[in-house]
Structure 1
Amino acid sequence: MNRFALRDRTDGLDARTQHEDIVRILATQEFPWDITQALSFALFRTYAVPSIGILLHETGEFTERTQKRYDDTVLILDAILEHGIASPTGHSAFRRMNQMHGAYDISNEDMRYVLSTFVVTPVRWVGEFGWRPFTPHEAEAWTHYYRAVGRHMGIQDIPETHADFVALMDGYEAKHFAFDARSQAVADSTLELLTTFPPSHLAPKKLVKLFARTLMEDALLDAFHYARPSALTRKVFRTALKLRGKFVRYALPPREVPRFGRENSSVRTYPKGHVVEQLGTFPKTCPVHHHHRPATASEEEGHAPRAQGTGGS
């Protein structure tokens, strides 16, 4: 297969009406490793906003059951991607996600910011470290896909374009990134988890954590009170990632068979398989007061009702 065959395929699809097909190709065939890494680091960004990091710490899910919480996130989003937003499995995944989020008083602004990290971070990562960058057409489709995801999550005032998402994410981080010990604890737990993922588990933990820090901007490092790596260290590790991209470009053929998140070796909680409806947490009581929020797109369609107070983040 021509190395650019998948790009040619995405170019032939409509970014507005076939965005799910384009995103599925990008995430499971064209850049599966890069996008997985990018979304892992997108999680770190959200911890640096104290209103998010503190809530995640209070649930205990990211500090006491880090692997399970990571896997649940991957598998819920994976089900939507693999089966489709409008599919029965997709609606079940949105129901689970909305039940968990609905158990806590999360502001629309924070939800919208988290959505922006899923839109912006992968495009930036692939642009810097991938074997080729997203085309403008692919970036548009990526944006439309997550706009649809956001609507099904009940998020309001979703940005219209990729540029709008970039402005939202950068502006929100400039305003809200700040240190909190509880946010730092969540970041520490996630960083520890990353050291156990193959093949990183074969390297010394200190080296893996240093590598991760070289991929974080100074503002993010400062928000966690993490030491800034030297310029030389950053250059060495980032160059290694760019060389990987060159290797993929010139030595590897396009992936002909999609690789979904459930197939990743880093997902380990459910070795015998999983049921989407049973993913996540089901606390018996809600720890915070709720405000009324607008119905999600799924609810308006008669699917995936939000069950306030029946899930956990």
Structure 2
Amino acid sequence: MLLTDGAGAPRGRFGWRRRIESLDPVRDHQEIHRITAGFEFPWDYTRSLEFALFRTYCVPSISALLARTGEFERRPQKRYDDTALLMAELVEHGYDSPRGKESLRVVNRMHGKYEISNADMLYVLTTFIYEPLDWIERYGWRPLHPHERIAAFHFYREVGLRMGIRDIPTDFQELYRFKADYERKHFRHTDEVHAIGVYTRDLFCSWFPGPARPAVRVGVHAMLDPMMLSAFGFRPAPGWVRSVAEAGLGVRARALRLFPPRRRSKSTRDPRNRTYPGYPVGYRPGDLGADRDRGSTRG
């Protein structure tokens, strides 16, 4: 049974961490992951998953498929919101809940329309596990508890099984090695990779006022590693830009240590969602997806 908002909310800044420590990371992985992503690090999970998706576009077969669908060229904001909200539904309600099952049906319906290799599907799954964990270790307001890392692995492994992904390793380190090897073998520059990279970068920039967008563009480049910059064909940002960005994230982390524990999960409540205003109020997971047009398609 997953927590409800405000139910059993802990006292003290490290109360949720104590709760996590008391749980079994395998048996209780859904509850632990909801605490981590929805209560403790919602902003970090959102930002890191933005860059996780960005990372997958360095694989030519993935970018070529996205280019063929035309979704990124026509409606990049909608595709971003669909993916973010469907994954958030699984975190918020659990993958075997009614809303979780509905979300998985939407995901599987969308993927089922295209020929996608099992290896590409598995690689994308790995980014949902490891990119947020790495981000939080660098920029989070506290270190992750080992239970949180194990819980994230088991959560997305179960999601992957329900998506029909085959040959998912049962070991945390083995799957991480698969991710690293896949990137070394498959990241490379193509016209489609570059085009999808530009669409995604420009989407990020569109969330800011016009005068700030050139600076945001440089900031995005500063947060990409050399493998991603090479694949996208982007010019590296000056070293001082990354230093400033990381210093700012460090200040944010230190400030957050002074905040009280969050009492309400923010998994599905992202103010940057422009396609489905007010989500989740008035919406079902079945309203989401590239073949659904309910709501605004701005962006």
User: TM-score when scaled to structure 1?
Assistant: 0.85
Shift of 1:163: 1.7
Give the one of 191, 197, 214 matched to 2:222: 214
Deviations, residues 66-99 of structure 1 (Å, cap 9, x unaligned) = 1111111112112222221111211111111001
Deviations, residues 173-209 of structure 1 (Å, cap 9, x unaligned) = 1110011121221121111121233xx4476101111
Equivalence for 1:66: 76
Shift of 1:25: 0.5
Equivalence for 2:109: 99
Say if 2:36 is the partner of 1:26: yes
Equivalence for 1:265: 271
The answer on whether the counterparts of 1:119 and 1:165 sit within 8 Å (CA) in structure 2 is: no
User: TM-score when scaled to structure 2?
Assistant: 0.89
Deviates more, 1:75-84 or 1:117-126: 75-84
Unaligned runs of 5+ residues in structure 2 are: 1-10, 293-299
Give the one of 232, 235, 240 matched to 2:243: 235
Equivalence for 1:310: none
Q: How does 1:49-128 map to 2 (within 5 A)?
A: 49-128=59-138
Say if 2:286 is the partner of 1:277: yes
The answer on whether the counterparts of 2:73 and 2:199 sit within 8 Å (CA) in structure 1 is: yes
Deviations, residues 88-141 of structure 1 (Å, cap 9, x unaligned) = 211111111001101111000000000000111000000001111212111001
- Look up the SS of the partner of 1:195 in the other structure: helix
Shift of 1:257: 1.3
Equivalence for 1:16: 26
Say if 2:231 is the partner of 1:223: yes
Distance 2:291 2:75 in 1: 14
Distance 2:180 2:213 in 1: 30
Q: Which amino acid is the alignment partner of residue 226 of structure 1? A: F
Distance 1:202 1:252 in 2: 32
Shift of 1:232: 2.1
In the alignment of these two chains, the number of paired residues is 279
Distance 1:132 1:225 in 2: 34
Distance 1:65 1:185 in 2: 14
Cα 1:203–1:31 shift into 2, 3 Å: farther
Q: How does 1:159-174 map to 2 (within 5 A)?
A: 159-174=169-184
- Look up the SS of the partner of 1:221 in the other structure: helix
Q: How high is the sequence identity, in percent, across the aligned residues? A: 41
Distance 1:55 1:172 in 2: 18
Deviations, residues 153-177 of structure 1 (Å, cap 9, x unaligned) = 0001112232222211111111100
Equivalence for 1:196: 206
